Amino acid sequence: MPRIFATYRIRSDAASIKARADAIAVEQSVEMPVAAIVDAGVKADIVGRVESITDRKDGTFDVVIGLATATTGLEAGQLLNMLFGNTSIHDDVVLHDAEFPATVVAAFGGPRQGMDELRRRVGAKARAMTCSSLKPQGLGPDALAAIAGRLAKGGLDYIKDDHGLADQAYSPFADRVRACARAIAEARTAGGVETQYVPSLSGDLDRLRRQVDQARAAGVDTVLVAPMIVGLASFHALVRANPDMAFMAHPAMAGAGKIAPAFLLGTVFRLLGASATIFPNHGGRFGYSPETCRAIATTSLRADGLRTTVPVPAGGMTVERVPEMLDFYGRDVMLLIGGGLLAAGDGLVEATRAFTRQVAAYAR
Amino acid sequence: MPRIFATYRIRSDAASIKARADAIAVEQSVEMPVAAIVDAGVKADIVGRVESITDRKDGTFDVVIGLATATTGLEAGQLLNMLFGNTSIHDDVVLHDAEFPATVVAAFGGPRQGMDELRRRVGAKARAMTCSSLKPQGLGPDALAAIAGRLAKGGLDYIKDDHGLADQAYSPFADRVRACARAIAEARTAGGVETQYVPSLSGDLDRLRRQVDQARAAGVDTVLVAPMIVGLASFHALVRANPDMAFMAHPAMAGAGKIAPAFLLGTVFRLLGASATIFPNHGGRFGYSPETCRAIATTSLRADGLRTTVPVPAGGMTVERVPEMLDFYGRDVMLLIGGGLLAAGDGLVEATRAFTRQVAAYAR
């Protein structure tokens, strides 16, 4: 079976890199002294293999290691475990990228609903899509629904729950979803908008399933999940069981730097089925560079046989930045402005309208 | 309701720290401009509150933020989300620690089986306990069972699966558990040892449950889980549903440095119910300092009303280091030597016996 080729970016000097590369190849496969392995099959097929070492001339090296696909059992959590489980504990190394063989790609399958379907659901033929977040947490279902209604009047495509909205006593998931879905449906009925609601799921797989059912019952077909919080296995179980649902991925607990954002938020989340992937845009509250953001968008949209994942730059964005963001990302994007709209207070509908009109009017 | 007091260790200069602390308090609670919040209750009870800022005089500051307990919904994944979800993406900050109020401690409950019970199960009254790992991955159930039998003959207390053993085609979980449990039971019957088998669980909650049932059917009552891979919510769901099982936690994907190891591997894993917590010992393959290891042991054993969690230092340990490790940790510890025993090849039983005898003979 073809191997997975994982690239580790390692801080090292030239004298030590060969030994360090060998150590990672062992750590991420058999995790024991190779000399003590007697089974010839294990030695040939299972032990990780250093494929190449490239000096990046900046104190780091890119080491490509061939990992046996069979060790992953084609299960999402175990895939991450074999890519980076123990090595994540070392502070000299970042998981930079990986190439997956066709077996892996076919087993996980990528988004069941891709960019085209997310566009179709909101009638966004060729333009960029728009999104905002329901906040603040602490409000009850009715107060959040009132905000959702006003955001919808402003003509957004998608309104997602803040990823902090879960299943709290002051705003139980079932009540919130019912109230917000209704408020947004009313805005659609009133005319002029095709806004869709995207509630945030949380908890263990039982709870996640119950929440998907409740969302479905409220007429919702797109949901938000933070894969690094619910666990990749739970995320993929939900995707498999609900092929009609679109899943928007949230980057919470994605860490800073230990796994390259383009690989985790782009490649991995897409492989497991994210229809859209939210990430911190450059120049916002978070420290991603323009290059990192470009790389996330590129991996999300790569023509490799899987459906494409919509890149969703966010994190302290403002309406003023819309033209620049569209220049940067083009139209295969969903722009997410949360607090930047809510800051308008009583002028929320107008601020939202200014955002959505600007996106609609933009042409390169 | 009393707040959770989370400590963030932040790289900053004195001029910027106040603003940075305020920003984190908002990011980890309402995630929107506070000025735009109209609800008085949300402002008073939900918005994060900077409680203190301490200059550590080394370019870092400890910032304590009071987070509303209600935002966690008393659910494990959401607890992590509110502690560090978005802030994990910033590279100037580490989640250093948190104090949980009694509501949180009672809701999660800590280990259902603690140190005393792990001792009782193997007849280790007052001495330190011993452990090794079944490897290498790639072997089939019978070959692994043969190694398990030899390790058991050496008198170990616990033999765990390598955390890379999952549910692979070459070694399906159900077959492996049956074969290894039998081999170890035979060693017990032959006399002189009370070794227990600890299989490694993986996958989504459905699979995890099936594996627990298969383990139970094979007479196993202790299992290994990597909480950061299966997800904290799945881990806690398993603990709740199987109060008779002891759970050994593995640190895979625990990252380096983003969350202080003593907090994650000690406090959090214990809060959610880990009976034992494996961590890289200082001076081994990983970069933890003696201070970090001491802190993990201390938080695992803290007298705070919860059952204690057994600290399990590991990661490139050798029999030669046993006296030094026992001097360092005392006897409330389980020593785990994996590859260091397997390196003995044909001398595996004797090497294992040397390890277990040394631990039994040690007295401070």
User: And the tokens for A29?
Assistant: 């496969």
Q: CA A267, CA A271: separation in Å to the nearest integer? A: 6
Q: What is the pTM of this model?
A: 0.94
Domain termination residue (choose one: A60, A79, A108): A108
Q: Interhelix angle for A232-241 vs A205-217, to 10°? A: 40
Alpha-carbon span A57 to A42, nearest angstrom: 35
A46: exposed, middle or buried (Cβ count in 10 Å: 0-12, 13-18, 19+): buried
Tell me what pLDDT residue B287 has: 79
Residues 7-36, chain B: which have Cβ within 8 Å of A?
23, 27, 29-33, 35-36
Helix and strand numbers, DSSP H then E, in chain A: 16, 12
B88 plus B147 within the same structural domain:
no
Percent of chain B with pLDDT over 90: 94
CA distance A91 to A258: 8
Q: Mean pLDDT for chain B?
A: 95
CA-angle at A319, arms to B29 and A332, nearest 5°:
95
DSSP state of A59: S
- Does residue B56 carry a pLDDT above 70? yes
From CA A6, how far away is CA B157, in angstroms rounded? 36
Same domain flag for B184 and B284: yes
Backbone angles phi, psi at B190, to 5 degrees: -60, -20
For residue B364, what pLDDT is reported?
53
Q: Which domain holds residue B140?
A: 115-361
Confidence band, pLDDT 50/70/90 cuts, at residue B286: confident
3-state DSSP call for residue A245?
A: coil
pLDDT at A137: 94
Give the model's confidence band at A286: pLDDT under 50 very low, under 70 low, under 90 confident, else very high: confident
Which pLDDT band, with edges at 50, 70 and 90, does A190 fall under? very high
User: Which tens digit of pLDDT belongs to each residue from B302-332?
Assistant: 988 899 999 999 998 999 999 999 999 999 9
User: Both A257 and A357 in a single domain?
Assistant: yes
DSSP annotation of A118: H
Q: Helix A322-329 to helix A348-361 angle, to the nearest 10 degrees?
A: 40
- Tell which residue, A310, A340, A324, has the closest CA to residue A113: A310
ipTM: 0.93
pLDDT of amino acid B123? 94
B217 φ/ψ sector (left φ>0, alpha ψ -120 to 50, else beta)? alpha
For tokens 């600290």, the residue is B311
**pLDDT for residue B290 is more than 70:** yes
* Number of A–B residue contacts, CB under 8 Å: 307
Tens digit of each residue's pLDDT (9 = 90 or more) over A214-248: 999 999 999 999 999 999 999 999 999 999 999 99
**pLDDT at residue B103 greater than cutoff 70:** yes
* The pLDDT of residue B1: 80
Tokens at residue A278, please? 């939210």
Alpha carbon of A195: minimum distance to chain B alpha carbons (Å)? 22
Contact A90 B256 (CB under 8 A): yes
A91 touches chain B (CB under 8 A): yes
What is the full DSSP assignment across B260-315?
A: -HIIIIIIIHHHHT-SEEEEEPTTSSS---HHHHHHHHHHHH--SSSPP-EEEEES
- Are residues A127 and A61 both part of a single domain? no
Across the strands, what pairs with A246?
Answer: A222
| Residue A174 C-alpha, separation from nearest chain B C-alpha, in angstroms | 14
Same domain, A75 and A220: no
Q: Which of B:339-358 have CB within 8 Å of A?
A: 339, 342-345
CB–CB contact B258 A258 (8 Å): yes
Q: Chain B: nearest CA to A257, how far in angstroms?
A: 7
User: Which residue of chain A comes nearest to B132, CA vs CA?
Assistant: A32
* Chain A neighbors of B133, CB-CB under 8 A: 31
Dist. CA B336–CA B316, nearest whole Å: 9
Please state, in angstroms and rounded to a whole number, the distance separating the CA atoms of residues B159 and B129.
11
Cβ under 8 Å to B: A residues 235-264: 236-237, 251-258
Q: From CA B147, how far away is CA B331, in angstroms rounded?
A: 27
CA dihedral A297, B252, A227, A8 (to 10 degrees): 10
* Mean pLDDT for chain A overall: 95
Q: Could you tell me if A297 and A253 lie in one domain?
A: yes
**pLDDT single digits (tens) B333-346:** 999 999 999 999 99
pLDDT of residue B165: 97
Residue B191 and residue B73 share a domain: no
- For residue B58, give the CATH number of its domain: 3.30.70.150
Q: Which residues of chain A does B345 touch, with a Cβ-Cβ cutoff of 8 Å?
A: 36, 38
Do B156 and B28 belong to one domain? no
Alpha-carbon distance of B299 to B327, in angstroms, equals 18
Predicted confidence (pLDDT) at residue A364 exceeds the cutoff of 70: no
- What's the rounded Cα separation, in Å, for the pair B118 and B309? 9
Residue B305 belongs to a domain with what CATH number?
Answer: 3.20.20.110
Shared domain for B81 and B143, answered yes or no, is: no
DSSP calls for B89-118: G-TTEEEEEEE--HHHHHHH---SS-HHHH
Tell me the C-alpha distance between A165 and B309, whole Å: 32
Tell me the C-alpha distance between B264 and B254, whole Å.
Answer: 8
Among residues B108, B138, B165, the one where a domain terminates is: B108
Nearest-neighbour CA in chain B from A272: distance (Å): 13
Averaged pLDDT for residues A238-265: 93
Average pLDDT over residues A303-310: 93
Picking from A60, A89, A108, the residue at the C-terminal end of a domain is A108
Asked if A256 lies within 8 A of B70 by C-beta distance, the reply is: no
A270 in contact with B, Cβ within 8 Å: no
Q: Is B77 on the interface with A (CB under 8 A)?
A: yes
What is the mean predicted confidence (pLDDT) over A298-306? 93
Helix (H) or strand (E) holding A256: none
Q: Residue A285: is its pLDDT beyond 90?
A: no
Q: Which of A55, A47, A1 is nearest to A24 (CA)?
A: A47
Whether residue B211 sits in one domain with residue B305: yes
Tell me the shortest Cα–Cα distance from A235 to chain B, in angstroms: 9
Residue B214 structure tokens:
């298969």
The helices-and-strands tally (H runs, E runs) of chain B is 16, 12
Test B77 with A38 for CB contact under 8 angstroms: no
Question: What is the distance between the alpha carbons of residues A180 and A178, in angstroms, rounded to a whole number?
Answer: 6
The total number of residues written for chain A in this structure: 364
pLDDT at A112 over 60: yes
Same domain? A97 vs A139? no
A282 touches chain B (CB under 8 A): no
Q: Confidence band (pLDDT; 50, 70, 90) for B273?
A: very high
- Would you say residue B363 has pLDDT above 80? no
**Cis amide linkage into residue B136, ω under 30° from 0:** yes
Chain B residues touching residue A23 (CB < 8 angstroms): 285
Task: Tell me: do A30 and A129 sit in the same domain.
Answer: no
The pLDDT > 70 percentage for chain B reads: 99
**Both structure tokens of A8:** 């580790």
The rounded percent of chain A whose pLDDT value lies above 70 is: 99
d(CA B251, CA A88) in angstroms, rounded, equals: 9
The number of distinct structural domains making up chain B is 2
The pLDDT of residue A256 is 81
Q: Which residue has the tokens 């490799």?
A: A304
Q: Do A30 and B91 touch (CB under 8 A)?
A: no
Contact B128, B334 (CB under 8 A): yes
Q: What is the pLDDT of residue A62?
A: 97
